[in-house]
Amino acid sequence: DLPEEEGKRMNTHVWIRKYEKAIVVVNLPGAKSDYTMEFEQARHDSLTGEKGKKFMIPPGEGRIFLEN
């Protein structure tokens, strides 16, 4: 899967990068809280197997969200 654009810094600890069929979100260590990621269409979290439109990413963790 090829990246569609450069990574975007959302705040001090969160980076997001879009790919053709996925979105990668990283909440770096040191963040004071979870990062809430919301989508218009349901996605699949490749790490947890969870499906939905809203996900919480704890500090120090990253996720790959795939299109359903």
Contact indicator for 44, 32 with CB cutoff of 8 Å: no
Extended strands (E) in 1-68: 8-9, 14-18, 22-27, 35-45, 51-57, 61-67
Predicted local distance difference test score (pLDDT) of residue 54:
98
pLDDT band at 2 (very low <50, low <70, confident <90, very high): confident
Structure tokens at 60: 């120090």
User: How crowded is the C-beta side of 7, counted as CA atoms within 13 Å?
Assistant: 10
Residue 1 has pLDDT above 80, yes or no: no
- Give the model confidence (pLDDT) of 4-60 as tens digits: 889 999 999 999 999 999 999 999 999 999 999 999 999 999 999 999 999 999 999
pLDDT at 4: 86
Write down the pTM of the prediction: 0.90
pLDDT score of 3: 85
